[in-house]
Chains A and B, each alone.
Chain A
């Protein structure tokens, strides 16, 4: 009864939800910038952001070493981690709503496997496309993820014209396995680049710098906008596609948009950071549990919580056995899997009780 009351209280206070989520994100960012082999005092960070980012008049002098650490290393790293976490979380929330399955995530549709194959191809053949130079890898992986989702949809349509969700999931799983074995094949054939490929596959946001933020940001904005403008349709579709159609949603077109939006976000995230699991699964789930399934709020709140979560995960990955850095994917899985298991067990218990 008390738990119920707390749940209702949380759901009915959306303003508080946004305040809490924003506070968590700001806290995580400050922590992520501050903590490291050299710790930067929070007051210096605020001063630095004031002068360097917001171009405010001088707010007192800051140690130039701090300036370098914050502006060249930690700030871009934290922002990138935040953008990747946000992308994966909102894409996960959208896929779960669309597929009406709280256990779905971008990986289920084969999207991230596609993105990985695109990226590993670049590493394997040492490709550099003309004009885009170092952007070859992200462009290839985003393209590969979008190609994958269209292939999945094409095959799903071949199997069944109405393209039921179950068919899409099954097709996605088939593609995932197939692309997974392509990856294994390339890894097996690799000599010297093995370590690079494995490291990339495990996921990391270190040493990427501002260019990577520039790469992911436009895709993040476009993908999130598509999904945020589809939040009502996602609400309708969680009652089944037929129901959504009856309510007035153009299901075929909207489904396509949501899948494209989710794929852009996933592809961009995989391109800049490799495969990072569990964010797209756990964060939407947790958000829904706290603040309800209404996608109008679920999507923005997932963005906030997802970025905060990945920033903290990245912080742990680089400090826990410092100076060695663990791949961030290892940390998210280590945190995410047990949390997920607990959520599952509690849900089962709730249903029985």
Chain B
């Protein structure tokens, strides 16, 4: 559709672009990203025929762009400007109708029925038909943006250039506009090239990204390759982190604000923050902790500041236990959105907790455990699915900075330590008679302050892993024996 070959040029006496080459296929949505002054707008000016290239050539549908007349070019290529001048009060419809200029021929350039139909259709598509008789200068920024989008679409272009199309739009219109563009590229084969400031939007919607740096192409590839942490950090010269989008397989680049000095104090999470009643065991952290957990609420990864282990009766049975748990937390003045909540049938008095330190890291472990319903994971196939309230709930609070890897390895380490306790205590699977590895509804939670010493790994023989395995083993053993004693006392 469009190919740019070894283009150099810019403004008189000042070349902005240096030997630029890239290609855009029909129906592609290409995003152009790069810091301010990297030449994004200059490319647009050259492709749209406003500026001439010093050397190299630009081919549009296999023909050099210079061989197109202004009208011919306007029938193939339309541009949505970042801002358009508003010298006189035209109405919305008058403005959109101007987009038909290139299609009108002959001496008197009559307004045809087709022209009218196209204008009405583009106004419908962009949602501005309702105010077609209003003055453009009386509209809001977002509405005005859509008027000029309609004007560009009225040209019936095959390729559409957008200069930061989401600039004046609120969130819902940003999404709406980009969804619409994406749809047109898929269904009508429209080719879209768009300049983006927002790397995340670009990554979400574009098929490919062109990253510019000082008028040269840094990389032209798919979003996942272009949005590489180190690459973006070096091109934009700022601190960012790359994370996967939670629901779409696309990358997200996150800005990291400068940390304040008082955020850095090495605070240790320990029993000071733990509070127990007959019904709940609650740890309230002074600030949100990065958490990975398998709770009833707040499970998965996130940032949470309250951690609740709730005692429920053995006969607890509720079809929607998540909803019920949320309601329970709200009744106790705990915000469910900031909380990881778990359930257990074990008496909370039998909790076992311990703070262990080594060098700069400290780990605070909290375990409630009961050996009933224990299952041998290697024989779990013989069990029917029958979720009962968890019997071993393990909480690990790390005062340190953990990588995602360290989180996952710590979970492995904790699980291995737990299985070892089952073995040493000879807790058996009632059905198979073999040594059990846990109970069917065990939960685990690992939360880190993400301040202080960095812990890249959490395997069993790392600094962190040693603390986790030692803490989980001793606490689980102690909690199990307390539970057992209670059982014997009752008997």
Given contacts A102-B88, A239-B84, A293-B89, contact A247 B94 (CB under 8 A): no
Please measure, in the bound complex, the distance between the C-alpha atom of A59 and the C-alpha atom of B79, giving whole angstroms: 63
- Bound together, the chains give a CA A217 to CA B453 distance in angstroms of 90
Q: Is the CB of B98 within 8 A of A239?
A: yes
For B70, list chain A residues within 8 Å (CB). Answer: 245, 248-251
Residues A236 and B50 in contact in the complex (CB < 8 Å), given A243-B84, A246-B78, A294-B90 = no
Question: Using Cβ atoms and an 8 Å threshold, which residues of chain A touch B452?
Answer: none
Would you list 29 pairs from A and B whose C-beta atoms are within 8 A, ordered by A residue?
A: A97-B88, A100-B85, A100-B88, A101-B87, A232-B98, A232-B109, A235-B90, A235-B98, A236-B101, A238-B85, A238-B87, A242-B50, A243-B85, A245-B49, A245-B50, A245-B70, A246-B78, A246-B79, A247-B74, A247-B98, A247-B102, A247-B151, A248-B75, A249-B70, A251-B70, A292-B91, A293-B88, A293-B89, A294-B90
Whether A349 sits at the interface, judged by CB under 8 Å, is no
B132 CB to closest chain A CB (Å) equals 12
**Interface band, chain B:** 20 to 34
Taking CB as reference atom, which chain B residue is nearest A239?
B84
From residue B58, how far is it (CB to closest CB) to chain A in Å? 15
Please provide the chain B residues from 91 to 108 with a CB less than 8 Å away from any CB of chain A in the complex: 91, 94-95, 98-99, 101-102, 104
Q: Taking the complex as formed, is A161 at the interface, i.e. its CB lies under 8 A from any CB of chain B?
A: yes
Task: Tell whether, in the assembled complex, residue A248 and residue B87 are in contact, meaning their CB atoms are under 8 Å apart.
Answer: no
- B42-79 contacts to A (CB < 8 Å): 45, 48-50, 69-71, 73-75, 78-79
**A248 to B88, Cβ gap below 8 A?**
no
Kindly state the separation between the CA atoms of A232 and B97 in the bound complex, as whole angstroms.
Answer: 11
- Kindly state the separation between the CA atoms of A102 and B86 in the bound complex, as whole angstroms: 11
Q: Which residues of the other chain, A, contact B50 by a CB distance below 8 angstroms? A: 242, 245-246
A11 to B109, CA, bound (A): 21
Residues in chain A near residue B94, CB distance under 8 A: 235, 292, 294
Contact A248 B71 (CB under 8 A): yes
Q: In the complex where A232-B101, A239-B98 touch, is A248 in contact with B74 (Cβ < 8 A)?
A: yes
B133 an interface residue at 8 Å Cβ cutoff? yes
Q: A180 at the A/B interface (Cβ < 8 Å)?
A: no
Q: Which residues of A sit under 8 angstroms from B99, Cβ to Cβ? A: 247
Chain B residues with CB under 8 Å of A102's CB are 87-88
A250: contacting residue among B69, B79, B91, CB under 8 A: B69
Q: Are A247 and B89 in contact (CB under 8 A)?
A: no
Give Cα A207–Cα B218 distance, bound, in whole angstroms.
75
Asked if B246 is at the interface of the complex by the 8 Å CB criterion, the answer is no
Chain B residues within 8 Å of A336, by CB:
none
Tally of A-B Cβ pairs under 8 angstroms: 80
**What residues on A are CB-neighbors of B98 within 8 Å?**
232, 235-236, 239, 247
Per CB-CB distance, the 10 closest pairs between chain A and chain B, nearest first, are A248-B74, A248-B102, A293-B88, A100-B87, A240-B85, A250-B70, A246-B79, A248-B71, A238-B87, A247-B101
Give 15 new A-B contacts, CB below 8 A, not counting A102-B87, A246-B152, A248-B73. Answer: A11-B91, A100-B87, A102-B88, A236-B101, A238-B85, A238-B87, A238-B90, A239-B84, A242-B50, A246-B78, A247-B101, A251-B70, A293-B88, A293-B89, A293-B90
CA gap between A102 and B91 in the complex, in Å = 17
Chain B residues near A8 (CB-CB < 8 A): 133
Is A318 positioned at the interface, with any CB of B under 8 Å from its CB? no
* Complex contacts, B49 vs chain A, CB 8 Å: 245
Q: Report how far A238 CA is from B84 CA in the complex, Å.
A: 10
Q: Tell me the smallest distance from the CB of A21 to a CB of chain B, in Å.
A: 19
CB-defined contacts of B102 to chain A, threshold 8 Å: 247-248
Q: Chain A contacts of B89 at CB under 8 A?
A: 292-293
Contacts of A292 in B (CB 8 A): 89-91, 94
Chain A: which residue is nearest B86 at the CB level?
Answer: A239
Q: Using a CB-CB cutoff of 8 Å, which residues 269-294 of chain A contact chain B?
A: 288, 292-294
CA distance A319 to B152 in the complex (A): 55
Q: Which of A97, A236, A240 has the most CB of B within 10 A?
A: A240
Which residues in B have their C-beta under 8 angstroms from that of A242?
45, 50, 81
A161 touches B85 (CB 8 A): no
A302 to chain B, nearest CB (A): 14
A284 to B348, CA, bound (A): 86
Q: How far is the CA of A243 from the CA of B99 in the complex (A)?
A: 10
Q: How far is it, in angstroms, between the C-alpha of A101 and the C-alpha of B102 when the chains are bound?
A: 25
Cross-chain contact A248 with B84 (CB below 8 angstroms): no
> B155 and A247: CB pair below 8 A?
yes
Contact between B81 and A243, CB atoms less than 8 A apart: yes
Say if the beta carbon of B249 comes within 8 Å of chain A. Answer: no
Most A CB within 10 A of own CB, among B84, B85, B95, B152: B85
